[in-house]
């Protein structure tokens, strides 16, 4: 058995919790850590995430000299909500998050100290990062995408049928209606959610701690509008000719056991990128690669560190 990882259930003393205001006045919650002697890293989290989930990862990279900045996307974590129901995750247009990223990254880049700039992005954040890089909205020295949302995994339901169901439900429930129910008090559902995300019970318990002690940052299911945007956005990106000209050195880490995003889509998109390295894990790894048991997590971190050294050396 893997030893229990250290618990990350309080804010590290060396970090700074702050806020950033988008051009339209929307207030985002951000978190910074690290002295920047190695370079600067922008971390983009996944759907439903909050920065608290990634304190362990941010501490790891801060200890190696990276000045790491993470922020909660508009509508989740500590960055407000986009519907009257604070428990559902919604977006009317994925372009809103791209616009937020563009504005935030512009300020982030202006405050650079001359070291390499890199992006570390997970799941939905990986999709948004790749789209932004393909559109040259952000141009880091290198990027790492973990389990990027380049297609949704609809399980036993064919993708075409899943998209049809979403279209029908948009008419019935409306774009802001929750796509499913999620009982946070059900041990059975929590266990099923944990198996989809990570084999590490300790790291999953850390997330539950934050959700229970700070319920205002917790987010549940997506809306039908979010699903509609995700299906349309991932399909558009996969067929975008700009992918073949996106030359930012990119490491993609995925898992064939992913139940949330499509491993096949990850392979297809990676094959179209001219400067990408792909590594796929197997049954030992669920969706949250950097929050997995140490056997997977440490292997992934070693691959990422080697990738930074090769493609984003110290200036």
Q: Identify the pLDDT of residue 4.
A: 61
What is the chain's length?
315
Q: List, for residues 186-212, the tens digit of each pLDDT value.
A: 788 888 999 999 999 999 999 999 999
Q: Identify the pLDDT of residue 271.
A: 98
The CA distance from 167 to 73, in Å, is 25
Q: Is the pLDDT of residue 3 over 60?
A: no
Q: Identify the pLDDT of residue 314.
A: 87
* pLDDT-above-70 percentage for the chain: 96
Q: Identify the pLDDT of residue 46.
A: 98
- Determine the average pLDDT of the residues in 81-85: 95
The CA distance from 54 to 56, in Å, is 5
Q: Identify the pLDDT of residue 183.
A: 67
Give the pTM: 0.95
Give 1's pLDDT tier (boundaries 50, 70, 90): very low
Contact 38, 66 (CB under 8 A): yes
Identify the bridge partners of residue 252 per DSSP, sorted by sequence position: 145, 278
Helix (H) or strand (E) holding 187: helix 187-197
Contact 107, 71 (CB under 8 A): no
Using alpha carbons only, give the angle 56, 26, 206 rounded to the nearest 5 degrees: 20
Backbone phi and psi for residue 33, each to the nearest 5 degrees, phi listed first:
-155, 145
Chain centroid, CA 167 distance in Å:
25
Identify the bridge partners of residue 294 per DSSP, sorted by sequence position: none
- Determine the average pLDDT of the residues in 98-124: 88
Q: Which of 96-100, 119-123, 190-194 has the lowest mean pLDDT?
A: 190-194
Q: List, for residues 242-260, the tens digit of each pLDDT value.
A: 999 999 999 999 999 999 9
Q: List, for residues 6-53, the tens digit of each pLDDT value.
A: 778 999 988 999 999 999 999 999 999 999 999 999 999 999 999 999
**How would you list the strands of the sheet with 250-255, edge to edge?**
16-21, 27-33, 66-71, 39-44, 117-122, 142-146, 250-255, 276-281
Contact 204, 255 (CB under 8 A): no
Around 248, how many Cα atoms within 13 Å sit in the side-chain half-sphere?
A: 28
The CA distance from 263 to 147, in Å, is 8
Residue with tokens 């990738």: 307
Task: Give the CA diameter of the chain.
Answer: 55
* pLDDT-above-90 percentage for the chain: 89
Burial status of residue 50 (CB atoms within 10 A of its CB: 0-12, 13-18, 19 or more):
buried
Contact 65, 35 (CB under 8 A): yes
Please give the structure tokens belonging to residue 47: 């759907």
The CA distance from 218 to 86, in Å, is 8
- How big is the chain by its Cα radius of gyration, in Å? 18
């Amino acid at each position: 058995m893997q030893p229990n990882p250290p618990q990350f259930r309080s804010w590290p003393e060396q970090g700074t919790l702050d806020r950033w205001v988008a051009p339209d006045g929307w207030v985002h919650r951000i978190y910074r850590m690290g002295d920047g002697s190695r370079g600067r890293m922008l971390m983009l989290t996944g759907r439903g995430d909050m920065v608290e989930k990634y304190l362990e990862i941010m501490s790891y990279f801060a200890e190696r000299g990276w000045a790491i900045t993470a922020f909660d996307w508009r509508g989740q974590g500590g960055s407000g909500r986009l519907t009257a129901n604070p428990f559902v995750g919604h977006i009317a247009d994925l372009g809103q998050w791209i616009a937020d990223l563009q504005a935030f990254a512009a300020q982030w880049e202006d405050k650079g100290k001359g070291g390499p700039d890199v992006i570390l992005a997970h799941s939905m954040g990986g999709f948004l990062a790749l789209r932004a890089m393909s559109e040259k909205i952000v141009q880091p020295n290198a990027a790492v995408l973990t389990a990027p949302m380049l297609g949704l995994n609809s399980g036993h339901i064919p993708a075409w049928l899943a998209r049809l169901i979403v279209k029908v439900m948009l008419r019935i429930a409306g774009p802001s209606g929750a796509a499913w129910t999620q009982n946070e008090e059900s041990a059975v559902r929590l266990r099923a959610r944990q198996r989809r995300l990570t084999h590490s019970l300790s790291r999953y318990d850390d997330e539950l701690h934050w959700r229970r002690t700070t319920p205002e940052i917790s987010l549940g299911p997506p809306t039908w509008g979010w699903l509609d945007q995700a299906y349309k956005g991932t399909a558009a990106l996969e067929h975008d000719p700009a992918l073949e000209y996106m030359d930012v050195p990119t490491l993609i880490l995925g898992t064939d056991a992913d139940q949330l995003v499509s491993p096949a889509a990850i392979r297809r998109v990676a094959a179209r990128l001219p400067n990408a390295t792909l590594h796929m894990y197997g049954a030992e790894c669920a969706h949250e690669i950097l929050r997995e048991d140490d056997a997977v997590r440490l292997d992934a971190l070693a691959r990422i560190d080697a990738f930074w050294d090769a493609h984003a050396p110290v200036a």
